Amino acid sequence: MELHVRYEGDDDPEKCTARRLARFDEVTLHDSARATPRGVVLDPHAEQALSPADAAGGEPAGEAPDPGRLVALDCSWETAEREAFRLDGPHRALPFLVAANPVNYGTPFQLNTAEAFAGALCILGRRERAEALLSHFSWGHTFLELNEEPLRRYADCADSSAVVAVQGEYLAAVEE
């Protein structure tokens, strides 16, 4: 599965996970929306949750980009408003997952780009690729440990509704 990043460049370049992943040839950076290829866009504002049904790249059967693409927007959370995600392809939000990176440790939903790709890859059944991505970060294994159970359960879901139902259990537990 190809991993693409619309790189905004408004965050600290020293801490930017997308830049680090690009240095290891794990992702391709693009400096405009036009230059960014169509794929499943990881968008926290999206109406629909990512599910294993998106494994074909979010395209109708027979029209999937081979081998499928995931796209993230790497920007600061201050500028990550709905309008910033004008990128081509079906938009999907990641379900309840907790950040493990030192900047946002323990915060649900607010993942960095490496965590977002890794979470998506696990849900889409590509756990080994997720582990490879996270191996470039000292905190990487912690993301998989913290989210072990939800990631396994989301990956067993048939579709987005089932993912949302599982997510509901974690949200209820947090609110207790």
Ligand X SMILES: C[S@@+](CC[C@H](N)C(=O)[O-])C[C@H]1O[C@@H](n2cnc3c(N)ncnc32)[C@H](O)[C@@H]1O
Binding interface with ligand X (CB under 6 A): 11, 15-18, 42-44, 72-75, 77, 80, 93-94, 109-114, 116
Shortest Å, Cβ 72 to ligand X: 4
List Cβ neighbours of 152 (8 Å cut-off, separation of 6 or more).
Answer: none
Q: Which residue's CB atom is positioned nearest to ligand X?
A: 112
Shortest Å, Cβ 156 to ligand X: 20
- Nearest residue to 2 via CA among 60, 70, 56, 51: 70
Instruction: Starting at the earlier edge strand, list the strands of the sheet with 28-30.
Output: 28-30, 2-7, 69-74, 40-42, 91-92
Shortest Å, Cβ 136 to ligand X: 12
**Burial label, 124 (beta-carbon count in 10 A; 0-12, 13-18, 19+):** buried
**Burial label, 53 (beta-carbon count in 10 A; 0-12, 13-18, 19+):** middle
Q: Is 113 annotated as a binding residue?
A: yes
Q: Is 142 annotated as a binding residue?
A: no
Q: Is 17 annotated as a binding residue?
A: yes
User: DSSP per residue over 105-122, as a string?
Assistant: TT-BS---HHHHHHHHHH
Choose between 80 and 100: whose C-beta lies nearer to ligand X. 80
Choose between 63 and 105: whose C-beta lies nearer to ligand X. 105
Shortest Å, Cβ 160 to ligand X: 13
Q: Is 94 annotated as a binding residue?
A: yes
Choose between 14 and 176: whose C-beta lies nearer to ligand X. 14
Annotated binding residues: 17, 73, 94, 113
> Could you tell me which residues are annotated as the binding site for S-adenosyl-L-methionine?
17, 73, 94, 113
